[in-house]
Each structure stands twice: as structure tokens, then as C-alpha cells.
Structure 1
Amino acid sequence: MTDPLAFVRANSVLQSPPLVPEVRLHLASEVLPLWSKTEEELGREGVPPPYWAFAWAGGQALARYVLDRGVLGETVLDFGSGSGLVAIAAAKAGAASVLAADIDPFSAAAIRQNAIDNDVVLDVTTDDVIGRTDPWTLILVGDMCYERPLAERLTQWLRDHARAGATVLVGDPGRTYFPKTGVEKLASYNVPTSRDLEDRDMRETGVFRLTA
């Protein structure tokens, strides 16, 4: 594999998501060609989709919510950060510190570059942080309930943090494995989407607080 940052720069264009014009991200226009290029770059098949290259509906809604309401002084974890959209929004909205966590090295490279392009400071990790007990005051999760094993493992860990006093906010457009109970809806947005990513041009997307 060559330099992940070089790959990100070569396969994306700096642009703003529809719902969050204040933020600029390195994004791609089509999933399948970039997915194939990622497999070629890594020299293997069956790699996860290039989540970093798209501003998903849950992340856009959560970023919009954070920017509109502010997170002044919070110590923030953005889990499954992807492009870094939500982490960047938190940094712009006054967070004391932001950690963007994503296990994909291409995502980590994209987040670092996107942070520079938005003139914000944040930390990035490719560690699997599920199970960690750091005293984050605010945990942000955009669009992560698309796969059952991950969603169940993640939700239990997030509830542990909620019990410990953290605020846990989740942006979700109705993914299959989003928890059916123990959530409080805080806001709703109509998020423009791409037919390359979704089955419609607009998705109604909620921001929820996960309860203990």
C-alpha cells in the first residue's frame, strides 16, 4: 500500500456536504469505482466500503445539530468518524478536545487532511476504542447501525458510557439495527443523499440521545 494520504487526495474532491456547508471534505462521487481502487491499492478483495469518502445522512444530521447548538468545553469522541465530518463540526462548535476514531487507515488520513482544510485541531486514532473507559463527556456516533454484530456491541458500550454520565448522541436515518428502545429523539432533518449511496434522493434523519 502506498501513502494513504496520497490515495485520498488522488481519489476525492474537496467539497461541502449539502446539510453542512460550513465544512469542506475530501469526498468521492461514486462508491463502486473507488471501492475497486481501494482493493487494488491494498492488494486484496473483500475490504470494507470506502466510508471515508462520503458524507452519510446520519453524520450530516449529527454535524448540523452539533454546529447549531454548540458543544463548548466538551471532551468529545467521534466514533466511526469516516470523513471526520462530525469531529470537525465538534471542533468548530467549541469542544475542548476531539478524538476521531476510525479503524480504516484511509479514513485516518482523510480526517487529518480534512481537519487541516477546515483549520481545526483534533486527534485521530485507528484503534478499536470499544471497551475503553476514557472520561469523554460527549460521544457522537453517525450512521453506525448498518450491521448487527457491530451495532449490538457498540450500543452496549455506549450505554455503559451513558450510565457513567456521558452524553451519547446518535445520528441515524433509519438503519436496520438502530436500537428500538432507550433513545430520545432530539431533532429531525431532511438530508439530501446520492442514489449511489441510498435508495432515495432525500432521507429523513434523526438525532437521538441514547439513554442508560
Structure 2
Amino acid sequence: MRDPENFIRAHTVIARPALVPEIALHLATEITPIWQATESWLAQEGIEPPFWAFAWPGGLALARTVLDQPGLVAGKRVLDFAAGCGIGAIAAALAGAAMVEAAEIDPLALAATRLNAALNGVAVATPDGDVVGSACRWDLILAGDVCYEAPMTGHILPWLRAMAGAGAEVWIADPGRAYLPKDGMALISTHRVATTRELEDRELREVTIHRLLP
């Protein structure tokens, strides 16, 4: 792949989400131009949307929770799963986590996370490849907005439940997606998160954070 960091810098601006102003991120302002630019840059049509270019409601709610309650994270080994822009990982690092990893299958998302971590002066590891199937090496797994498609949910949920059974706390932040499990979830908190019609079908999302039970 060509230089992903330069591509990200060229097609985003540095912004601070209103809900989490402590964190600066390289973000796009519109989805269609960044999507088209990514397809052109990769010389590939029909790619997944550039989720890494936006701070989504689930990630925002997780980051706000972590920063407001750093004692839940300090000293722990944390995974930001399906990290997108890496906001959850960055919040965990700022809250004093002992080790933070961000997992993504999109190399551009990993590059964006590295850029955003550097922007905020924190260390976040970005292992390559799909971590689903890995043995548990974390105390806390953050998963923001991961139940938006049936195939995605079916792929990740058994592994996340196995991680909970292996001793990790698994938090899923969900803004009302259709495939959130109805059972085996313990509610932690609820947040009202402002969004835009550029990304959602409404301007305010109610995000629930649940702990996944083994």
C-alpha cells in the first residue's frame, strides 16, 4: 500500500468531537468524498465505507465513559475492537491503561489510529489482521457499534463471549442497531449522543453500553 498516513492527512481535518473534546482526531467532514477518494486511491470499487474517517456514536460513548471513570481502565490491558478512528483506544491510554491495542481489518483504519494516537501523545499498538480467534490477553475489550450487520455480528459475537468467559470485561456500545443481542447483556449506562444526517438517519442517537456476559 502507498503511504496511508499522507492520504489520511490530505483528506481529513483535525477536529475535536463535541462529546469528547479532550481528544483530537483526523476526521472527514462528508462521507461521499472520502469514500470516492479511498476507492480511487486504492484503485478498487465497492470497498467498505471509510469508517475510520468518522467518530461514530458508539465510540464516542465509550470514550466519554472511559475518560469520566478512569479507575475502570487504569492499569488494565485494553483492546479497542473494530477501532475505526481509534477513539476508544486513545481514551483508554489517556485514562492510564497499562497497555492498549486497537484491532481493525482495514489497514487505513490502523494508519488513522496511529496518526490519531500520535496526535494525542499516547501509545497504541495496532496489530495486523483479524484478532477474532485470538487467545485472550486483555482485561477489557471495548467494542463500539459492531452489531450493524448480521454477518459481522455472527463472526464476532461467539469470540467476544469467549473472551468474557476467559476473564475479560467486554463492553459493547450500541446506538440502536438491529443485530444487538437481546440476551446475555448487562446494561452499564445510556448516553444521548449528537450525530449528523451525513452518517445517521437522525441527529441524536441513544447509545447503550452493555457488558457482554459469557
Superposition TM-score tier, normalisation by shorter sequence: over 0.9
Is 1:157 equivalent to 2:184 in the alignment?
Answer: no
**Residue type matched to 1:10 in 2?**
A
Judge conservation of contact 1:104–1:126 (CA < 8 Å) in 2: no
Q: Which amino acid aligns with 1:51?
A: F
Map Cα deviations across residues 14-54 of structure 1 (whole Å, 9 max, x no partner). Answer: 11112111001000011111101110001111100000100
Aligned counterparts, 1:97-112, within 5 A: 97-112=99-114
**Structural mapping, 1:118-133, within 5 Å:** 118-133=120-135
| Cα displacement (A) at 1:108 | 1.1
Q: Structure 1: any 5+ residue segments left out of the alignment?
A: none
What CA distance in whole angstroms lies between the structure 2 residues aligned with 1:17 and 1:25? 8
Opposite residue 211 of structure 1, the aligned amino acid is L
Structure 1 residue 2: Cα displacement: 2.7
Relative to the length of structure 2, the TM-score reads 0.97
Contact kept in structure 1, 2:143 and 2:171, CA below 8 Å: yes
Which position in structure 2 is the counterpart of 1:4? 4
Structure 1 runs (4+) greater than 2 angstroms displaced: none
Equivalent position of 1:13 in the other structure: 13
One-letter identity of the residue aligned with 2:89: A
Structure 1 residue 134: Cα displacement: 3.0
| Cα contact 1:65–1:207 (8 A) shared by 2 | no
Matches within 5 A, 1:25-64: 25-64=25-64
Cα distance in 1, alignment partners of residues 206 and 93 from structure 2: 25
Q: Is the 8 A contact 2:136 2:168 kept in 1?
A: no
CA RMSD of aligned residues (A): 0.9
Aligned length: 212
Distance, in Å, in 1 between the alignment partners of 2:53 and 2:44 is 19
Identity of matched residues, %: 52
Paired with 2:90 and 2:157, the residues of 1 have a C-alpha distance of 23
5+ residue gaps, structure 2: none
Q: TM-score scaled to structure 1, two decimals? A: 0.98
